[in-house]
Structure 1
Amino acid sequence: MTTNETKPGLAAILAAPTLDADMKKIADKVLRQERLTPEDGVALFEKGEVGFLGALANHVRERMHGNKTYFNRNFHIEPTNVCVFTCKFCSYSRLYKHREEGWELSIDEMLDIVKKYDGQPVTEVHIVGGVHPKMNLDFFIELIRKIKAHRPDLHIKGFTAVELDYMFRKAKLTTAEGMRLLHEAGLQSMPGGGAEIFHPDVRAQICHDKVDGEGWLDIHRTAHQTGMVTNATMLYGHVEAYWHRVDHMEKLRQLQDETHGFNTFIPLKFRNKDNEMAHIPESTIIEDLKMYAIARLYMDNFPHLKAYWPMLGRSTAQLTLSFGVNDLDGTIDDTTKIYSMAGAEEQSPSMNTAQLAMLIRQAGRSPVERDTVYNEIRDYSEVEFSEEELMN
């Protein structure tokens, strides 16, 4: 499905005599639904004009999803920002020896956060944080079981591959054994954090001491084999080259061909506030939009492309909806600190359902509430909201 608005734009761009010959060949591939090569991916970064990329990505987005833009009602629990690892891009964590500067939540404190949402129609709790040596596998299994006992209908999405790698190694379990125990306790899906850039040369510069790219991929492969769906991310806009980005997406695309277990790809913008990479300029909005568009074109076997609105800011998130994005994450909760501490646009990242639905409608899209695995719950295209709902 392609709207009347986008048809002329795409046709005009593809017919322009100034269009680069390589870009024309790539566009023809996309329109024929042929897979792009890594060489095509690099060429798009090097030669693709933002208008061309946006029109082409929007064509793919609307072919796949029409005018729908998904969101869910979720909240985050961040057990701790104390961490044994020293990622140079991180503004969030505090080393264990400086743990008095951070926070550590008990199981009861985290259950109290869950109970705050009793009676509210949230569908997902997202649990992710630092890697704390005392918050081990048994600790989190107990937490998951207690959440499920209190609210069985709440979908639990939790733990990056970085957290899981540490948990499993400390418990002296294989990845398959550890994943099975968590799944049996009630863990239903995983977020995509910790992927950063897979290439070892980049990881050596920005996150040398945590699980490597192959380890990340293996943990997600095992999660898929265990029966869980997961997301995938890429941290872009720091020391990596364009080919590193394409190499990262290619590895994800190959794993998706193998397992079909990924829901969503989420490019994450590097933010440079209060971290060891503060000297590196952040990417521009134009570069951000190009990143999303190329991701939509390249990641042909990923059903969804998500822009995490608290990190980008609301206006830029709206723009991404014309550059391949069909998901803006969720209503979230104002306790989310991972990106606000790094200088994200949204320092208090919380919107209610009415506000998020209107944000999507203002961009000319149809807001559809989903659950974690993209079952549609309600279409908000025609819902009328009160002034109070939009202000709260």
Structure 2
Amino acid sequence: MVKKMDILNRRITNEEALDLIQNAPLLELGELASKRKLELHPDKTTSFIVDRNINYTNVCWVDCKFCAFYRHGRDDEAYVLKFDEIDQKIDELIEIGGTQILFQGGVHPKLKIDYYEELVEHIHTKYPDITIHGFSAIEIKYIAKVSKITILEVLKRLQVKGLSSIPGAGAEILSDRVRDIIAPSKMDSKDWINVHALAHSIGMKTTATMMFGTVETDEEIIEHWELLRDLQDKTGGFRAFIMWSFQGANTKLLEEIPDIKPQSSNRYLRLLAVSRLYLDNFKNMQSSWVTQGSYIGQLALNFGANDLGSTMMEENVVKAAGASNRMNQEEMIRLIKDIGENPAKRNTAYEILERY
């Protein structure tokens, strides 16, 4: 068994992380993760952001088995939002004090770099105070492929037009054995890491994510963390780590593997705490209240999370898979104060905008 106080003073190994996941008492993990969090955030600030997820299209050819959101181009429910529809969503966000759009779609087989440049430039020009945090690694890679240019060129061209940062979507579990089962047409782990490394190389920050609870082993979870920690050592380009559990309703994966069980709150908190200890070069970790509910989301703040993430004015992807939790700014402030921490609204760069 790992000596608990010793691991706060050094980097833990993969073997120690595995031991903590499998053997450490849950409350002990919470205590350790809280101490590590306090080292990084001694003023006990817990942040959140007011933003909106805008899914500009649901058309996607990748057919991830864990996704219930995507449609094929000829499906009746397939769409690509018009610019004025996007503008309306941003106008509504600005009315409630929002500062960021999380901008993602499916991997549309026909949209090339010119479309994305026009889209980003339109938003950035009309709404210069709104940060565009958009396009997952698989979207970036496919834009490059269909446009016959390099990934680096895609990133540079979108950055010039106003793209600020890239979300960590599409990581799932960075183990190719797992990816071959749950999303066989998707990019492999090396390609996901490469897109983020290239973004970091031009000064574009990104976030890192993990979706657990499908077919992965504990060892593969640690493999995922190791890839993130190694890249963060090299670039320092990740702003935050966000982890959530697989939501299976309406997905092909649950039809194919019906014995996949919903992940418990214990499991979520356990993995969150160990990730806080293992990912020692990540300053920020978000609570996934969207999949866990508001009160487990609050409890996550005692297991290493220092950020409640987004108020989620709009969220469509996990909602399609059965998660329908909602929370507004006032409730976030109340939940943070309730555990003796200090609520603060932030922007995409984790700069504090207002304290409460």
Equivalent residue for 2:320?
A: 341
- After TM superposition, the structure 1 = structure 2 runs for residues 311-322 of structure 1, keeping only pairs within 5 Å, are 311-322=291-302
User: Offset of 1:118 from its aligned partner?
Assistant: 4.1
Aligned residues: 351
Distance in 2 (CA, whole Å) between partners of 1:293 and 1:319 is: 11
User: Offset of 1:168 from its aligned partner?
Assistant: 0.9
Contact in 1 for aligned 2:110/2:146 (Cα 8 Å): no
* Aligned counterpart for 1:271 among listed residues 235, 238, 247: 247
Please list the CA deviations of residues 188-234 of structure 1 after superposition, one character each: whole Å capped at 9, or x if unmatched: 00111000111111111011101111111010001111111100001
> In the alignment, does 2:274 pair up with 1:294?
yes
User: Offset of 1:343 from its aligned partner?
Assistant: 1.4
User: Offset of 1:103 from its aligned partner?
Assistant: 3.0
TM-aligned CA distance change 1:100 to 1:345, over 3 Å: closer
Equivalent residue for 1:72?
A: 49
Distance in 2 (CA, whole Å) between partners of 1:106 and 1:226 is: 30
Contact in 2 for aligned 1:311/1:340 (Cα 8 Å): no
Contact in 1 for aligned 2:244/2:268 (Cα 8 Å): no
Read off the aligned partner of 1:320 and give its amino acid letter.
A
> Secondary structure of the equivalent of 2:345?
strand
Contact in 1 for aligned 2:294/2:327 (Cα 8 Å): no
> Secondary structure of the equivalent of 1:240?
coil
> In the alignment, does 2:169 pair up with 1:193?
yes
Read off the aligned partner of 1:43 and give its amino acid letter.
D
Deviates more, 1:102-111 or 1:84-93: 102-111
Equivalent residue for 1:220?
A: 196
Distance in 1 (CA, whole Å) between partners of 2:95 and 2:323 is: 31
Distance in 2 (CA, whole Å) between partners of 1:112 and 1:303 is: 34
> In the alignment, does 2:5 pair up with 1:28?
yes
> In the alignment, does 2:148 pair up with 1:158?
no
> Secondary structure of the equivalent of 1:62?
helix
TM-score, with length taken from structure 1: 0.87
Contact in 2 for aligned 1:305/1:326 (Cα 8 Å): yes
Please list the CA deviations of residues 313-358 of structure 1 after superposition, one character each: whole Å capped at 9, or x if unmatched: 101101101000001112221x311111111151xx351x222211
Equivalent residue for 2:303?
A: 323
Contact in 2 for aligned 1:111/1:146 (Cα 8 Å): no
> Secondary structure of the equivalent of 1:277?
helix
Structure 1, unmatched stretches of 5+, are 1-21, 381-392
**Cα-Cα RMSD:** 1.4
Higher relative contact order (CA 8 A, sep 6+): 2
TM-score, with length taken from structure 2: 0.95
Structure 2, unmatched stretches of 5+, are none
Query: Highest Rg: 1 or 2?
Result: 1
Distance in 2 (CA, whole Å) between partners of 1:321 and 1:80 is: 33
* Aligned counterpart for 2:35 among listed residues 59, 63, 69: 59
